[in-house]
Amino acid sequence: MDTLSPLERSERMSRVRGSDTKPERRLRRLIWRLGHRYRQSGTKVIGRPDIVFLRRKQAIFMHGCFWHRHDCASGRREPKSRLEFWRAKFERNVARDIEVRGGLAATGWRSLVVWECELRDEANVSQRLREFLDA
Bigger pLDDT: 16 vs 124: 124
| Prediction pTM value | 0.85
For 17-65, how does the pLDDT look when each residue is reduced to its tens digit (9 = 90+)?
767 789 999 999 999 999 998 888 767 889 999 999 999 999 999 999 9
**pLDDT category, 68, cuts 50, 70, 90?**
very high
- Banded pLDDT at 81 (limits 50, 70, 90): confident
At the top level of CATH, which class does the domain 6-10+17-134 belong to?
alpha beta
DSSP labels, 76-123: H---SS-HHHHHHHHHHHHHHHHHHHHHHHHTT-EEEEEEGGGGGSHH
